Amino acid sequence: MNLSYLKKYVLLHPENRMAWYLLGKEYEKNEQIGKANYCYNKAGHIYEAFESSKVPAEVWEEYQAKLMEATDHKERRTRRIRRAWLAVVLLQLLWIPSVAAPKHVDHNSDLTMDAYIERDLLTIDSYTNDDGRADRIAVDFTAKAWGRVNSDRDVIGEFMSSMPSGGLTGVLAMRQQGSWLLWHQEMPVVLSVEHPSKGELRVQSLEQKVCDCEPAETKALQQLAKVWTVQQEANAIINTAIQHYLQAKGRMPESLNALTKPFPENWVAGRSPELRAAFALITQPKGTNSSTAAGASLDSGNHNNNSEEQGVKGNRAAVAQRFFDQPLEIIVDKAQHQLALVSGHIILRSYSIGLGGVNTPEGIYHITDKVMNPNGRSNGEFGSRGMQLSDTNYAIHGTNAPDSIGKDQSLGCVRMRKDDVEELFDMVPMGTKVSIGKGNLPHLSPQSGSKFSIPDRQEQTNPRKTYHWLT
């Protein structure tokens, strides 16, 4: 009962950090570690303060009782208001002609990452049954090349044999450019494939020009898809970081904290609920819900079964199989002044960059140093972020000369705009491979839209060193 009340309370009062902390403790007692970590992250400094102190149990019980009383009082008041409005609406409906009921009901219009604490699965209303009721079904996603003839038939063929019954899969459209697929956080949901526990496969095109119809309401699916894409990017970051950590240290990181230490051990640029969920997914022992998701390259590692990040249960977005099966890499195309972040043949991000012409060397490098505010300045010649290439005097960094982007004006380094280099810094772990050459990317337009950003950062400056990169 306490869990139910606390969930309601934090939804009504999301700014109450103490309530988030108490909800996390309840989830922890129920061994729902993934959800507990998410709540602790929302609790912020309250978590650190109370975890390091000894508070009598009766104090917690008294505080929770007060929260429950406040929630119950607000619910009674809300019910009275709703009953009054319902009476008004019913009177108005007496004067309105009846119309056909909508085919699809959308109750998820405001769904965000906060929904993780409210639902064990990402769900949506399915199409109405014959009796008019709408079932709640689990939703998963995938992304496919789109725009080719019979793309929908190809995708449906895959689902016929592999899709679990009782769920719905939304298909996100990736544009294809040559041999590359283009990924971004706002990919449209173009197809939904539902496999009921009983009955035939249901396929719904969500592209009006394709189905020559009014597509079903897609707002809820699109919002769920955004949650999925961000989680998949986090999975790729953690998987890449673990592989490079394992190669450098000869052992698996015991927790996410091992990857997010202060400089120079800042393999990952910080923490977030998505990154915590990703670490739990990739490091959980074989034989659990997603035993195949970690990949063969990680199976030989020593997993720490007691890690606080492990054991995510029930969270469909966190335990779904990883979409990206290759580590993240950076490709620099000198001919086009472009930089792309890729996983295999999928381009996650593309940026316009400044270079140094023949002064920018070609070859294979790795990121060996990630520093914020190089030389103690965020607006200096290296900007707010720097990523050194294989212990050389070359780096990928920001610039105080943004007009040089797209030109050959550096002494050899790769220059980036402020927002771009800060996003790249958050997405590429230490050890990430960097390939510099010519003609190794298609012509890409710089991506716009949402940026990947990590809200909780450790100290990543380096006041003990003056950098002399060939800016």
Residues serving a catalytic function are 397, 413
DSSP 308-347: TT----S-HHHHSPPS--S-EEEEEETTTTEEEEEETTEE
| 381 token code pair | 């010649």
Q: Vertex 240, ends 184 and 171: CA angle to 5°? A: 35
Class of residue 295 by CB neighbours under 10 A (exposed 0-12, middle 13-18, buried 19+): middle
Pseudo-torsion of CA 385, 391, 393, 399, nearest 10°?
-10
Backbone φ and ψ for 108, nearest 5 degrees, come out as -115, 30
Helices (H), 94-201: 151-162
Class of residue 408 by CB neighbours under 10 A (exposed 0-12, middle 13-18, buried 19+): middle
| 27 token code pair | 């989830």
**Selection from 189, 192, 210 nearest residue 202 by Cα:** 192
**Selection from 163, 143, 201 nearest residue 348 by Cα:** 143
CA 257 to CA 178: how far, in whole Å? 40
Q: 166-178 in b/e burial notation, b at 16+ Cβ within 10 A?
A: ebbbbbbbbebee
